[in-house]
Structure 1
């Protein structure tokens, strides 16, 4: 399934609006629609007609999770490369459908002008937009920067020069599955792509410079995730230093020094650089508007998401905050409140924001890790449960995946839940129950004694919180 391209634009040379939004991401498009429905004149500026709807729909959450699902559930009788091609076709159809719906969501509003072009500040209220061969000036009383972030390519020897090195965006654009994928990095993007491609039958090697993958997680959680990846066929090398990437006719050779100081080389037809993302501010000419950035290039904002120019806001990944679509959506709520209401809502209101990594099974967490909780110095209760040992939680065995573990850290004096980590089937869903509980002051005891449907993964909370013990009693 595909969607028809929008009609060629006939644009004025100047446009005066109440609100200009640069970037079609989650927060920006939602704000544009909300303000337009209130009667505001809005310009939505997006540099590519392949990015209507933003990163999540086109090159982020939606396509990656669609591929993860297909890797786990579809095309079992097909060879891995054919399964991958089938999955990428389905994913392309899905993103095209959503892209068209997102374009129509704004284009059908009478007071919105969607402009496909590249914006740069001329001054604090004026944008120069290059739209094909046309140039126009957009003047706005309020401007929202929603340009997201790009994969970062640090100066590793040969990384930028190799024809076989790709970013996550470039790898998603391919319909041919790698035979041997080398992933440089050990964070969320690295692990997700490693798990997914291994499930499609690729040979996968992960090279991580730290002593473990997933360094923001507790050591036992990271080890459990590594064991799951290894059992799925992924080779993990930690403590490595990349010394060079060189191409021959049909592949790259990644040379690294291992944790024993021995030089090793691994060949690959594809090398994924999963080494973080940096805010996309290049070309915006922020200096002309007097908008400050930090040492990482992120736009500096206050708790209302206002930049150094109070009528200019920066939302989503470009402001250096958590790089989650649902945080961008909350950014929209803050800016909308600032524009049309009391301005009482701020980033300080955010509590217990969960995260999820879509390996198989997924890893989800909200709140503090055990390591972080220990650092607070407060008396703690801790529970660590292997999913396979939770006899009263049969759901994981019903779906043939009892791998992983669950952890809970609780304040021993207040019964307040400080953090929960779940490496288990459906953790990306069940973690939201904990996040909601934490935001509304529901205690560990209340979650322990709650009534849950059966058989479900949510009823794991009966078991998990029943096994809390003082930290000093933990082996």
Structure 2
């Protein structure tokens, strides 16, 4: 990284590309706070990073001791911890022995300006899991009514990642005004196994950015590889 005379930063990336930006966010992640609760005294095992090792039922290696939330190293989001805890309670106290949280297809949002929302597989992940021939990507861009009449329009870009001849949707990603609010409904559809045809058969709400995924406005796109980048949700 080089700081330029005008205050901008030039980054030299591993793939040979360079990017000049006005600021850099150093996302170093977090460490679990398990060192100060004396897990060793109870015999509870952690991994090399300090996360508590659990199975899909949130059991630790010690019978009768359970763990949920960020300290298990799963998806580190408050609603995920709440959902896992609820299912653990159902299993332990409500006679539901098979109850556990499915950690796949969990929606998440970056509350930035504009907000970014994502659920399911990214395009590279889908291609790795299913193969290039099985993956089809659709994209759309639209400016919703809320900002369309202002001088500061905020377009929203949507991306669907589909697989197989039935075009089952395995990933939904977007950036733009309102993405933080609209993603939840799309996450339900993805969790229920929706296909591109299901979206096409749903009447769109116009004029909204979310409606663009239901009014045949999505454009089928070939994979976009520009120095390793693949558009939304790399």
Quickly name the TM-score band, shorter chain normalised. 0.7 to 0.9
What is residue 467 of structure 1 aligned with on the other side? 218
1:235 aligns with 2:41: no
CA-to-partner distance for each residue in 1:116-141, whole Å, 9 max, x for gaps? Answer: xxxxxxxxxxxxxxxxxxxxxxxxxx
SS in 2 for 1:434: helix
Q: Contact between 1:380 and 1:470, CA under 8 Å: does it hold in 2?
A: no
Q: RMSD of aligned C-alpha atoms?
A: 3.2
Distance 1:336 1:454 in 2: 43
SS in 2 for 1:297: coil
Q: Structure 1 residues 331, 398: CA separation in 2 closer, same or farther (over 3 Å shift)?
A: farther
Q: Contact between 2:156 and 2:209, CA under 8 Å: does it hold in 1?
A: no
Distance 1:462 1:333 in 2: 34
Residues 412-431 of structure 1 aligned to structure 2 (within 5 Å): 412-431=164-183
Shift of 1:384: 2.3
Which of 1 and 2 has greater Rg?
A: 1
Q: Contact between 1:206 and 1:236, CA under 8 Å: does it hold in 2?
A: yes
Distance 2:105 2:173 in 1: 12
Q: Contact between 1:361 and 1:403, CA under 8 Å: does it hold in 2?
A: no
Scaled by the length of structure 2, the TM-score of the pair is 0.78
Q: Contact between 1:396 and 1:457, CA under 8 Å: does it hold in 2?
A: no
Q: Structure 1 residues 325, 211: CA separation in 2 closer, same or farther (over 3 Å shift)?
A: farther
Distance 1:398 1:442 in 2: 33
Distance 1:398 1:293 in 2: 55
In structure 1, the gaps of 5 or more residues are 1-203, 213-225, 238-271
What is residue 397 of structure 1 aligned with on the other side? 148
Q: Contact between 2:142 and 2:209, CA under 8 Å: does it hold in 1?
A: no
Q: Contact between 1:205 and 1:235, CA under 8 Å: does it hold in 2?
A: yes
Residues 284-323 of structure 1 aligned to structure 2 (within 5 Å): 284-323=37-76
What is residue 134 of structure 2 aligned with on the other side? 379
Shift of 1:395: 4.2
Alignment match of 2:86 (pick from 317, 333, 336): 333
| Residues paired across the two proteins, number | 213
What is residue 346 of structure 1 aligned with on the other side? 100
Distance 2:10 2:224 in 1: 36
Shift of 1:411: 1.5
CA-to-partner distance for each residue in 1:384-416, whole Å, 9 max, x for gaps? Answer: 23335xxxx544525744245221111241221
Distance 1:278 1:472 in 2: 35
More strand by share: 1
1:456 aligns with 2:205: no
Q: Structure 1 residues 332, 472: CA separation in 2 closer, same or farther (over 3 Å shift)?
A: closer
CA-to-partner distance for each residue in 1:173-220, whole Å, 9 max, x for gaps? Answer: xxxxxxxxxxxxxxxxxxxxxxxxxxxxxxx978978669xxxxxxxx
Q: Structure 1 residues 333, 397: CA separation in 2 closer, same or farther (over 3 Å shift)?
A: same
Shift of 1:436: 0.5
Q: After the TM superposition, list the runs of 4 or more consecutive aligned residues in structure 1 that deviate by more than 3 angstroms.
A: 204-212, 393-396, 398-401, 452-457, 470-474
Alignment match of 2:116 (pick from 355, 363, 371): 363
